Amino acid sequence: MSKLSEYSAKRRFEATPEPAPVLPDGGAGPLLFVVQQHSARQLHYDFRLECDGVLKSWAVPKGPSLDPGEKRLAVFVEDHPYDYASFEGVIPPGQYGAGEVIVWDCGVYSPDEGCTWFHDRAEAERRIRDGIAAGKLSIQLRGEKLKGSFALVRTKDAKSWLLIKHKDRFTTTNDVTAQNRSVLSGVAVADLKVVPAHRIPAARLVPAGEVAPMPTKLAPMLAEVGDTPFHHADWMWEPKLDGYRVLAFIDRHGVRLRSRRGLDLVGAFPTLVAELGQQAVDGMILDGELVAFDASGKPSFNALQNRVQLKTPRELAAADRSTPAVFFCFDLLYFAGIDLRDMPYRERRRYLVQCLLSSPLVQLVHAAQDGVALLAAALASGFEGVIGKRMDSRYQAGRRSPLWLKVKPMRSADFVIGGYTQGKGSRAPLGALLIGFWDKGELRYASHVGSGFDDRTLAHVRARLAPLQTPTCPFTDKPEVNVPVTWVKPELVAEVNFQQWTEGGSLRAPVFLRLRDDIDPKTVRRPAEPKLSSSSFPRLRGNDGQKAKTDSGILEVEEILVQLESKNALELAVGPHRIRLTHLDRVYWPADPALQQPAQTKRDLLRYLAQVSPLMLPHLADRPLTMIRMPDGIRGQRFFQKHWTQERPAFVETVTVFSGHKDEKHEYLLCNNLPTLMWLAQSGTLEFHVWHSRARLGPDAISKSTDYASSLEAMESSVLNYPDYVVFDIDPYIYSGKEAPGAEPELNVVAFEKGKEIAFRLRELLQDMSLESIVKTSGKTGLHVFVPIKRTIDFDAARHVSELVSRHLMHLHPKDITMEWSVPKRTGKIFMDHNMNARGKTLNVVYSPRGEPGAPVSMPLTWEELAGAHPLDFRVTNVIMQLTQAGDRWRDALKRKQDLARALAGRTA
């Protein structure tokens, strides 16, 4: 532990979120480097190299440079623990290094004098130790932002070093520090005051694990056919490239290029092979697509097929000039001794971005979460479509998996050619191809295809079929045709576009695209029907076979989601009811770069509310509703609306309530059904705030009166004057420093963490009183804690209970809690507002969106979940995904959510 004694002496780990000084067990695989941007007294960069279980560290005031003419000062500082490599967060005021920290870049590195040692950790560490002792290090970095060779050179001052970029193909005079976002979370350092920081284990930053020999043969993982692209936090999308699927094997013996059929393509692409040989690592397998471009710069499959036929050096050199072939990499399966196939795609993608040394002919495929937008861009660029990949998908070599989906404007599939018919006129030699697929060792006939040919392709296909002629029909069931047929051996594969399968089992509107020499005909099976990912339309299910909603309710929600895929205005059918929807593409929440979240529209709000309705509606039912409407989005005008005086649909229920303030009766809306929820969203309701009591009798209610409107006395005697719970409103008055004068505190990490601390202390106090409590985020900075009760005490009594408990907690922690009404006296403390326990007071209902940047949601949590939570963890874009996690964890979590829903809805304590 002596290596980390200086690190430990400077920090109080009960007060800072930085990792404790623990030395890891011996690692395997390449060494890690990390650069952290640190906004302390001055913004600077911490450059760290893994060696002997710790991070050797230098503070670089101006940050790294990719310009060899720039020599950047790097001050040698204390060793940091290995776990520090993934640290992102806020070091609190008063602690050493107070300020925000992000992982600005990370990746693998190796000493590089003479050669690299990514594959030999022991030798790499020995050379690093010797270099630090000698005051001169030469290293190759493979990160997202920093690539290539660098030098660290000690000056006459033992603590002062210089960080210098060596001249190579990665040099540039552009300021690399202008790329100011984290490579892990995507946030800028300034965002951390508000945006949650969630660490991943440092061991996951780079390829690591048991060292294993590099596989010599692999078959690529394949995608199933998808129906439409979508935007979902669990998926990433890549353009579907029109070329040859290729695996590139790179080691000390050279480069091997293997097609999907296992064909060796090295001889056809010598220039590409030479560039792949510059990856400077012993052991690397890349999965990607080999694409050729025509004279117009668009991908051309025909150009690629023609290139593969070339043999002589002169022909190949001419092809490099006229039809360059580029290897677009989209997966990394092995690197420097580490087999990555069992790691999730999200990790493999990060390792690929780090480890790939791009060049003109070796490129990284673009990836994005918004599949809809990417499809439009891909088609505009001349690509075929998009490929969707689940972020947690492992690499299933040689298998076609629903965890990968390919989406194209029209369906296409590969079929085996078993014969061709005689045509008429100029098409007499070849009228139509007879195509099929293999099924249990038999060739099944699928269809004939006669369109899609021109003179050149007709001649080419006929020439390829001529030597394959046979007198025997290769199909199990001989096709019925009325013209002469020539049968051929089933050795050629045709790619065919078609609309769909008919009920009779043939193709509707097939169109020939091309021959596929890269597909082994023996592997051709009937293509599966398009799959709509369950992540696109997730369902909420209960535990122990109990559904969270009825089958008809599931169908109703899914029908809404399908309708919402339509145009900008439509007549939405919700069961027998009709709701006119308009301006569906109006932006309600602008894009949020800090959260890497695209703009959210009215359509997105409706989708979210429909999907969450089984859990949200029980909290809304029978409770007078106050709406916060923002029909032009969160940057437009806001309406705080208690009463609805305009015309309303017949399915919207109401309750009339007597108001003691003006001796008047007012009509409140009740959101008791799904059509009402959809109608309110169409009306621009972004926030749903409800009373703490219900206009419904029940066995737990001491009052049996439903007279809410005749007089104040009647109202006070009615069931609406008896709440379902005692509320504790935890409201941090700890400022971020960015607020306007006199404004309320903005959401910030320090304030929310202090609020969580008080919430846990409140829970302990309530448990000492034998009271169980429930917690939810407000969606902003605060927390709401509820104690469910039987409806036997009125609001005055509930408020008195909340006040007594809050004052006792304040006396126990006077430095942290206040109940002062004066805002200046609240500053720096947690304000506990017992006056929220009043008839007519409202809080935003659970699962309600908030009209705040990022589209946060008020989320009910277990106390275990609260410990690591932040309000922006729960947003319109990801709550459904969090409620539908697969496996036992999903079922257990959903059961807890349902228990919370029942308690908060007043069913039982």
d(CA 244, CA 509): 26
CA–CA separation, 526 vs 444, rounded Å? 9
CB neighbours of residue 371 within 10 Å: 27
Beta strand pairing status for 830-832 and 725-732? antiparallel
Report how far residue 856's alpha carbon sits from residue 853's, in angstroms, rounded to the nearest whole number. 7
Q: Is 236 helix (H, G, I), strand (E, B) or coil?
A: strand
In sequence order, the 6+-apart residues with CB closer than 8 A to the CB of 71 are 162, 163, 164
Rounded Cα–Cα distance for residues 418 and 22 (Å)? 66
Sign of CA dihedral 99, 101, 104, 105: positive
CA distances in angstroms from 446 to 413, 478, 487, 789, 868, listed in the order given = 11, 11, 15, 66, 55
Residue 149 tokens, joined: 């060779």
How far apart, in whole angstroms, are the C-alpha atoms of residue 181 and residue 905? 42
Distance CA 839, CA 38 (A): 48
Integer Cα distance of 572 and 583 in angstroms = 13
Which residue, among 170, 164, 166, 134, has the nearest Cα to 152 in the 3D structure?
A: 164
3-class DSSP assignment, residue 185:
coil
Cβ-contact 604, 880 below 8 angstroms: no
Residues near 58 by Cβ (< 8 Å), separated by ≥ 6? 46, 47, 48, 74, 75, 76, 77, 152, 161, 163
Strands 43-51 vs 54-60: parallel, antiparallel or unpaired:
antiparallel
User: Distance between CA 263 and CA 309 in Å, rounded?
Assistant: 13
Could you give the count of Cα atoms lying within 13 Å of 654 in the half-sphere of its Cβ? 17
- DSSP element (H, E) containing 105: strand 99-111
- C-alpha–C-alpha distance, residues 130 and 11, integer Å: 30
Find where tokens 């100029």 sit: 426
Q: Which residues are the active-site residues?
A: 240
Residue type, 510: P
